[in-house]
Structure 1
Amino acid sequence: MQVKETLNEGLKRAYSITIPAAELEAKVDEKLKEAQPEVEMKGFRKGKVPMALMKKQFGPKVMGEAMQEAVDGAMAKHFEESGDRPSMQPEVKMVNDEWKEGDDIEVEMSYEALPEIKQPDLKKIKLEKLVVKPADEEVEEALKSLAETAQNFEDRKKGSKAKEGDQIVFDFAGSVDGELFEGGTAEDYPLVLGSNSFIPGFEEQLIGAKAGDELDVKVTFPKEYGAENLAGKDAVFACKVKAVKAPAAAEINDDLAKQYGAEDLADLKKQIGERLEAEYAGASRAVMKRALLDALDAASDFELPPSLLDAEAGQIAHQLWHEDNPDVQGHEHPEIETTDEHKKLAARRVKLGLLLAEMGQKAEVKVTDAEMSQAIMNQARQYPGQEREFFEFVQQNPQMQQQLRAPLFEDKVVDYAFELADVSEKEVSKEELEKALEALDKE
């Protein structure tokens, strides 16, 4: 194999690779000999097919495989010896398009090499960790919110008319063409008016009803209704209202705490405090992560691969365009041009992406199988009833795996940097933390 450098400008590289015909022929013979013991052919016992006949029968297919392996091997050897790491998949093309058996293989390979990246001294980076301690008032406010969520209903004053949001307790019997239908009858059924639990038009007719009222509710089942015998049919529900109840917040006591899985009210307050602390810690981490990335950006300077910059700028422009045009789906839209602002943001992202990847590699940061499985499960919960299908899809899709693995890897590298950086804590109010968090979106 002969490798000749034809371009070396900045990060751009190009090479001419020649693989001698004899080397390729030897690889074909080797592959045929490996397969010979398992080959069966009419007129010959298994493993006894002559090599000449095998070459005639299988030579073209094996030649194609041998050519691909030879080129892949030549590339791998080049990268091992040169130490280059391509920023993207190298471009490879045959030079002698009219190649025939017995000719040398001549290919051209071009790529952009990753730059040499010098990692900043993390110990010299100063960071400030904002700490917020939940106030008693915040815990009480969260308790009040939980009480409202765990809504109860209390009887309204006798003779009160039902309003939207009220709960009525009633009996009903539904019929179509005068005949009761299966599943259309119930007693003491609790219904919150405005919940849209029943078919369209049903609940509205019960607004204004009082305890003791008897009335007919007339509705039409939707044409796409699940039961074919009812779809599109007119129906009458004979209703008897037994009670009208107004929504009322649950009492804040041990019983409320037990509804949320706590032992008692004190335990629930403790859990709320811990949850608030976790929320504040997450927001504080986001602020400190931005400060870390800003410091790394300022402390690093190396050449960036043009192809990565162009790809990233194009992706940013495309994403922002769709955010401004949410009604446009897919890619049927005018060509989107990248601006200087897109390129500036792309340069930061590419630089930090390469730097974090280098830091993670040197620190031997790994994303474990357990962490990946947890990430896949978290994502799968967004598709109720299809979790298994989503899990299998990810397992068969390397690109999707990389999309899930990348943020996990980045977070672990950031945590590694936090451990080495000079971090000081500063106690702040909830409002100050929120202000710092809002500032991230404005930058």
Structure 2
Amino acid sequence: MQVTETLNEGLKRGYEITVTAAELDAKVTEKLTEAQPEIEMKGFRKGKVPMALLRKQFGQRLLGEAMQETIDGAMNEHFESSGDRPAMQPQVNMVDGENWKEGDDVKVTMSYEALPEIPEVDFSDVELERMVVKADDAAIDEALASLAETVSDWKKRRKGTKAKEGDQVVMDFVGKVDGEAFDGGSAEDYPLVLGSNSFIPGFEDQLIGEAKEGEEMDVNVTFPEEYGAANLAGKAAVFTCTIKAVNEPVAAEINDELAQKFGSDDLAALKGQVAERLEAEYAGASRAVLKRKLLDVLDGKVSFDLPPSLVEAEANQIAHQLWHEDNPEVHDHNHGNIETTEEHTKLAERRVRLGLLLAEIGRKAEVEVTDAEMTQAIMNQARQYPGQERQFFEFIQQNQQMQQQLRAPIFEDKVVDHVVEQAKVTEKEVSKDDLQTAVEALDDE
């Protein structure tokens, strides 16, 4: 077997690998010899089938396996000896494959872009500032008020007042299609919150600004084509509604009783829990700001060649994502080619550079994502599919690409933590508004 270099330009590499016919034949013989003791064939005892007959029966199939294994072995040996790490899957092509026949040498070309040598970075001179926000009384009171709204009571509006969005309408109704009442289309004393979208599209809209206590009104709607009941799908219906009450929402009082509804002993305990939650949210936002500052510093500290294929792939992904953000009505990918701009390429270069740097830092520091961390990440994602958690788990287990998508951000955050531990970090107490401004600035960059 012979490996000849054909290209060495920047990060681009090219090689020609030649596997002789004799090497392939020896590999096939080796495989047949290994399998011979277990093979049974009519007219021969187990393990006694002649080699010539085995070669005739299985040689052609084993030749392909031998060819693949030999080439894979040559590639692995090359990467081990050269120390190269390909940026993407190497391109391997058989030379004159259409004319190749058994007994010929095999020649393949291999090309790839090598990952660059990434310089060591001294983190001791990295200076960062962590924004710290304490949960003040105003923020706690605001959060408590929001909690109180989630357990709001209802207060009857003055008779004659028209219902508003967010109000609760208590009513009797009878639904008819073609003048005939249908099963499930009637109810008494039904409490409907306007704007909840719990009824057929268009139903609640006709009550908003019109429904008044003591009045009767008709609501005209059309069942959706995909409605669950086939006898109603796509049909026009009239609901005769008798409005018995119009109620406005009234937030619950902020007291010990409210606290107990949320599992706290009293209001003081609830305030403590709210403060902890708020400060955890502030800490998360502060970490995002700190991480961006760190990445900016690291981006300015290193410079190395970037694999063009990685930059191109990242630029295309950025352009594609931004195009969909500008065209939210398009949900598929049948939109033709999206041209990348200089801005896309510049951002892609930053992402690739930082991605390679963080990956190298993590590799040298032996940063790993644990099974427990992966399980937690999968569970967090699975919550987005209520009732289908098990199917989601099975999907992730069978999909290496999805596993990598979940693992990558965890790995990156662990590497960032590793770097922050070695940097000089000072804390600065700021207001919630200052932190919010810093977070909003992240989206503008």
TM-score of the superposed pair, with normalisation by structure 1: 0.90
- Matched residues in 2 for 1:416 and 1:275: separation? 25
Q: What secondary structure does 1:110 align onto?
A: strand
Residues 1:291 and 1:19: Cα distance change in structure 2 (over 3 Å): same
Q: What secondary structure does 2:441 align onto?
A: helix
Q: Is 1:6–1:14's contact at 8 Å kept on the other side of the alignment? A: yes
Which one of the candidate residues 311, 314, 321 is aligned to 2:313?
311
Gaps spanning 5+ residues in structure 1: where? none
Residues 1:229 and 1:341: Cα distance change in structure 2 (over 3 Å): closer
Deviations 1:36-72 (A, max 9, x none): 2333333333333221111111111100000000000
Q: Is 2:92–2:109's contact at 8 Å kept on the other side of the alignment? A: yes
Partner of 2:2 in structure 1?
Answer: 2
Deviations 1:196-238 (A, max 9, x none): 4333565535965555x37464655616443345556676666
TM-score of the superposed pair, with normalisation by structure 2: 0.90
Amino acid at match of 1:420: Q
Deviations 1:291-330 (A, max 9, x none): 1111111111222122222222222233323333334454
Partner of 1:391 in structure 2?
Answer: 393
Deviations 1:225-282 (A, max 9, x none): 4334555667666655544322211111122222223332112211211111111111
Which one of the candidate residues 298, 301, 306 is aligned to 2:300?
298
CA deviation after TM superposition for structure 1 residue 8, in Å: 1.9
- Matched residues in 2 for 1:145 and 1:208: separation? 29
More deviation, 407-416/105-114: 105-114
Which one of the candidate residues 330, 340, 343 is aligned to 2:342?
340
- Matched residues in 1 for 2:27 and 2:378: separation? 42
Q: Is 2:165–2:208's contact at 8 Å kept on the other side of the alignment? A: no
Partner of 1:62 in structure 2?
Answer: 62
Partner of 1:42 in structure 2?
Answer: 42
Q: Is 2:133–2:430's contact at 8 Å kept on the other side of the alignment? A: yes
Gaps spanning 5+ residues in structure 2: where? none
Q: Is 1:220–1:232's contact at 8 Å kept on the other side of the alignment? A: no
Amino acid at match of 1:43: G
- Matched residues in 2 for 1:354 and 1:218: separation? 61
Deviations 1:168-194 (A, max 9, x none): 334455566787654445443322244
- Matched residues in 2 for 1:329 and 1:210: separation? 41
CA deviation after TM superposition for structure 1 residue 34, in Å: 2.1
**Over the residues paired in the alignment, what is the CA RMSD in angstroms?**
2.6
Amino acid at match of 2:67: M
Residues 1:78 and 1:185: Cα distance change in structure 2 (over 3 Å): same
Task: Give the number of aligned pairs.
Answer: 442
CA deviation after TM superposition for structure 1 residue 408, in Å: 1.0
Amino acid at match of 2:40: E
- Matched residues in 2 for 1:57 and 1:415: separation? 59
- Matched residues in 2 for 1:55 and 1:238: separation? 84
Identity %: 69
Q: Is 1:129–1:423's contact at 8 Å kept on the other side of the alignment? A: yes
Q: What secondary structure does 2:17 align onto?
A: strand
Q: What secondary structure does 1:393 align onto?
A: helix
CA deviation after TM superposition for structure 1 residue 77, in Å: 0.7
- Matched residues in 2 for 1:383 and 1:207: separation? 36
Q: Is 1:202–1:217's contact at 8 Å kept on the other side of the alignment? A: no
- Matched residues in 1 for 2:236 and 2:78: separation? 78
Q: How does 1:88-167 map to 2 (within 5 A)?
A: 88-97=88-97, 98-157=99-158, 162-167=163-168
Q: Is 1:119–1:355's contact at 8 Å kept on the other side of the alignment? A: no
Amino acid at match of 2:13: R
Amino acid at match of 2:88: M
Amino acid at match of 1:356: L
Partner of 2:265 in structure 1?
Answer: 263
- Matched residues in 1 for 2:163 and 2:329: separation? 40
Partner of 2:19 in structure 1?
Answer: 19
- Matched residues in 2 for 1:176 and 1:337: separation? 53
Partner of 1:352 in structure 2?
Answer: 354
More deviation, 124-133/301-310: 301-310
Residues 1:331 and 1:217: Cα distance change in structure 2 (over 3 Å): closer
Residues 1:66 and 1:239: Cα distance change in structure 2 (over 3 Å): same
Partner of 2:412 in structure 1?
Answer: 410
CA deviation after TM superposition for structure 1 residue 430, in Å: 1.2
Q: Is 2:168–2:249's contact at 8 Å kept on the other side of the alignment? A: yes
